[in-house]
Structures are given as C-alpha cells and as structure tokens.
Structure 1
Amino acid sequence: MGRSPCCEKAHTNKGAWTKEEDQRLIDYIRIHGEGCWRSLPKQAGLLRCGKSCRLRWINYLRPDLKRGNFTEEEDELIISSIACSENKWSLIAGRLPGRTDNEIKNYWNTHIKRKLLTRGLDPQTHRPLNEAATATATHHRRRRNF
C-alpha cells in the first residue's frame, strides 16, 4: 500500500527558503531537537513538507556544517575513500566531519574527477589512463572469445 504523502501539497511552499523560515526551523530545532520530521513543519509553523525541512537542516542550517573550500587532506581522503567504497557518499561523509554526502558527491563530480584526469589517472580505477584503457580493451577481447 505505501505511505501516505508527507504533506498536503496544496498548502506548502516550494522553492527558495526565506530567512524567516530558516530562523523558525533553527529556533524550533534548538528548543525541541530534530524529532519527527513529518510533524515538525506544522509544529514549527512552517508551510513546508517534512522532507524539505529535513534537507534544509541537514544540508544548510546545522551548526556543525563545515563551510568553504575543501582542503588537500580532504581531497586525498575522498580520493582514497572512493577507491575503497565505490562512491558510497554517506560513508565518505562519515569520515569528513561537517561535510554532507551531497556536498561531497557534487565536489567529486565537479572538481576531483578533473583533478585525477589531469594527473593522468582514471577516475573509476585510479590507475594510469593508458593502463586503464589497455585493461578495458583486454576485458572486451576476453568477453568476445566466450
């Protein structure tokens, strides 16, 4: 059967959050904690759905969020983590306090992939590009022979 919708779509705001909405959410969570996201909007006096409130808090408003550029150490940790965990963003975020899984995923796709390519490394395998191309060609040749 499934879950009922998280909100009444007709009576919710969509799009950009206002400073007043941000402040209401911050104040509510400061007093009551995170609790149940489905009931939070109504209790906090927000015309938003619970999912929107949860994402706004987790990705933008939490006081422990780290702002600004990634450090070289963070870059290297992401690169080594990708090699081990195959793009499991939440696991990687757990190793970088204050960074969100979404932020790390976006950073990987916009910056680090390019960084690896300029180093001559394949972003998927972390091997030299010419070695990765050879391995792929060999793999395809082997598959045809079966």
Structure 2
Amino acid sequence: MGRSPCCEKAHTNKGAWTKEEDDRLIAYIRAHGEGCWRSLPKSAGLLRCGKSCRLRWINYLRPDLKRGNFTEAEDELIIKLHSLLGNKWSVIAGRLPGRTDNEIKNYWNTHIRRKLVGRGIDPTTHRSINQEPAAAATISFSGVEIANSKQAELQDYTVKNEILIEEENSQQVHEAERCPDLNLELRISPPNYQQEQLKNSTKLRLHF
C-alpha cells in the first residue's frame, strides 16, 4: 500500500512562482512556522502542492540563505568534503551555512568538476589523472614531510568521523521520534522437556 499523495494536485498551480505567492508563503511561515507541509498550502491560501511549498521555502525564500557566487574558500571546502564523503550533498551542505544541498550539487556538476579536471585531478577519486604507476615512481620524503602527511591524514579521518557521527545521531533522533518505545527485555530458558531431563538427572545423582 503506497503513501497517499501530499495533496490534491488536480487543482494546484504549476510552473514559476509569482511574487504574490512568495509573499503569502513568507508571511504565513513568519506568523505560524513551517508546521506540516501537507496542510500548509490550504492554511496559507496557496493553490500549490505541499512539496512545492517546501522546496520553494528551503531553496529560495529562507532568510538565512546565502546569495551570490561561491567564494574560493567555499570551493576548496566543497572539494575537501567531497573527497571525504562523496556525493552526500545534504551532509556537505550542513558544513556550508546558507547553502542548500541542491545548490551545491548543481555547482559541483557545472563548475567544480571542470576545475578539478583542469588541475589534472579526477573528480571522482580525487587523485591525479596522469599519475604514474607506483612501481615506476621514485618518491623521497623527509621525516618532517612524513609527519605532516600522517597528521593531515589523521585530521581528515577525524573530520570525516565527526561528520558521519553527526549524521548518524540526527538519523537516530528522527527514528526515535517516529518509533514508540518498545519493551525488549527478553528471557531465554530451555524448553520444558529439557528442564524435566535436568531435574531427573539431578535426582539420580543425589540417589547414588
């Protein structure tokens, strides 16, 4: 049995949002909060789907959204996080205040991928595209360089673990909200016939 649609889509507006619709959505959320997106359109007097209202607010109308082009620092942070997390755009967006996951994903596909290729780096593996086989390469590191390299690897590992732990904790909170507490205290005991055999065996030992 599938989930029922979020609203009656037969009589909803499609296409670009008007300024009047934007203003109405903003005014309603300022007065009442986000609440339930399924019932919000009707309460706000909007002929829109609940999903459409949610995406419009999150991606375009939120007051904390960051406008304008990405900075060089944001570019480098996205590259760093992507090397650690892959395409987990929502987790990456959590580290860039004011940016949405969809915005970052689109920016990655249209700009950063080309930037990395221009640097000779594979956007998927984050390794050099023209890297020679390890056997043919002769690399020499000083003690300081090795220590710095290990420290950087440890720092990356720590950052990745912190981000994944935050994501896991967030998921656990959502699961706890959805699922009631269950009593899982269980006792395991042998079947009745095994208990009878144990009693008989004990009696025989006492008799002899």
TM-score with structure 1 setting the length: 0.89
Q: Distance in 1 between matches of 2:73 and 2:113?
A: 16
Q: CA RMSD in A?
A: 1.3
Letter in 2 for 1:8: E
**Displacement of 1:131:** 2.3
Structure 2 counterpart of 1:25? 25
Q: Distance in 2 between matches of 1:9 and 1:95?
A: 35
Structure 2 counterpart of 1:105? 105
Letter in 2 for 1:47: L
Deviations 1:75-97 (A, max 9, x none): 00000000000110000000000
1:114 aligns with 2:114: yes
Q: Distance in 2 between matches of 1:9 and 1:94?
A: 32
**Displacement of 1:128:** 0.9
Structure 2 counterpart of 1:58? 58
Percent pairwise identity = 83
Structure 1, unpaired ranges of 5+: 136-146
SS in 1 for 2:63: coil
Q: Which runs of 4+ in 1 moved over 2 A?
A: none
1:4 aligns with 2:42: no
Letter in 1 for 2:8: E
SS in 2 for 1:129: coil
Structure 2, unpaired ranges of 5+: 135-208
Report which of the two structures shows the higher radius of gyration computed on alpha carbons.
Answer: 2
TM-score with structure 2 setting the length: 0.63
Higher relative contact order, structure no. (Cα contacts within 8 Å, ≥ 6 residues apart)? 1
Q: Distance in 1 between matches of 2:35 and 2:87?
A: 29
Structure 2 counterpart of 1:128? 128
SS in 1 for 2:108: helix
Letter in 2 for 1:13: N
Structure 1 counterpart of 2:74? 74
**Displacement of 1:2:** 2.0
Q: Distance in 1 between matches of 2:4 and 2:121?
A: 47
Structure 1 counterpart of 2:45? 45
Q: Distance in 2 between matches of 1:70 and 1:5?
A: 36
Q: Distance in 1 between matches of 2:44 and 2:130?
A: 56
Letter in 2 for 1:4: S
